[in-house]
Amino acid sequence: MKMHNWMTTPFTLRRYSVSFFLFFCLFFCLFGSSLYAGRPLILDDFEDANLVDGPKWFLFGGLTAEIKQNDFTEFQHLGINSLRLSGTTTSWYVGGVGAYLRIDGSQYQFMKLLVRGTGTQSGSLQIELYDDDNKNEVLERSSSAPSQTLYDDKFIYTMDVTWMGWRVVIIPLTNFRDENSQAGDNIFNPSKKDGSGGLLQLQFVVFANQEKGKVDFLIDSIRLY
């Protein structure tokens, strides 16, 4: 077999090869780090069937949160478990679950999760993201109104779950709106710079679609990317 000899390669071709190599190096230097930083972050996929560790979830109001085994025949990309949120109410609000994150969320642009509805009246889901604006890694809540914060932003996105079966939900983080203009800097800036806890906390707050009603749906595979 004849070996290719670099020195016998025509000079013009060598010059193009070197140029292409340099272009590739420059492209990688410019965009390689951002491609790396863009890898998805799994906030929870519930595969460990554990709600008290990785992350630690807390529950409030009258909501029931429990691990449920998935039915693979419903959607081929499902893992083993998901989180079932259910409950009843006589005044719209049911309750919620939240997790402390304290992560740098500054490189992410989307939240992606799977939601399995149980029909047109499955419930309304308010997703809440809190960033740490007074840079102390703590979310200070108002003692008179615990759903409000004193110094940190609360960004919310609301959706009605009106479908039966699984859906992939992708929400641009720019679609979350600041719900407390009196607290924080009203900018979604979940960076861990200067002692900030970054993206401090995630909450799912659940309402019924009717004043007296019930909610019942599953969520799974919550990611940022």
Q: Which residues contact Ca ion by CB under 5 A?
A: 45-46, 79, 81, 131-134, 136, 138, 152-153, 178, 180, 183-187, 189, 220
Cβ proximity to Ca ion, 148 vs 209, nearer residue: 148
Which tokens in the block code for residue 154? Answer: 């609360």
CB of 89 to Ca ion, least distance (A): 27
Cβ proximity to Ca ion, 77 vs 212, nearer residue: 77
Cβ proximity to Ca ion, 152 vs 216, nearer residue: 152
How crowded is the C-beta side of 151, counted as CA atoms within 13 Å? 12
CB of 38 to Ca ion, least distance (A): 22
Residue nearest to Ca ion (CB): 79
Cβ proximity to Ca ion, 131 vs 216, nearer residue: 131
Cβ proximity to Ca ion, 74 vs 211, nearer residue: 74
End-to-end CA distance of the chain: give it in Å, rounded.
Answer: 48
Is there a contact between 225 and 37 (Cβ–Cβ < 8 Å)? no
CB of 215 to Ca ion, least distance (A): 20
Query: Which H or E run includes 155?
Result: strand 153-161
CB of 106 to Ca ion, least distance (A): 11
For residues 138 and 157, what is the distance between their CA atoms, to the nearest angstrom?
22
CB of 154 to Ca ion, least distance (A): 6
182: exposed, middle or buried (C-beta count within 10 Å: 0-12, 13-18, 19+)? exposed
CB of 214 to Ca ion, least distance (A): 24
Is there a contact between 44 and 101 (Cβ–Cβ < 8 Å)? no
CB of 20 to Ca ion, least distance (A): 43
Which tokens in the block code for residue 74? Answer: 């419903």
Cβ proximity to Ca ion, 54 vs 79, nearer residue: 79
- Give 153's strand partners: 131
Cβ proximity to Ca ion, 97 vs 208, nearer residue: 97
For residues 107 and 223, what is the distance between their CA atoms, to the nearest angstrom?
13
Dihedral class, residue 87 (left if φ above 0, else alpha if ψ from -120 to 50, else beta): left
Rounded alpha-carbon distances, angstroms, from residue 79 to 26, 76, 134: 39, 9, 38
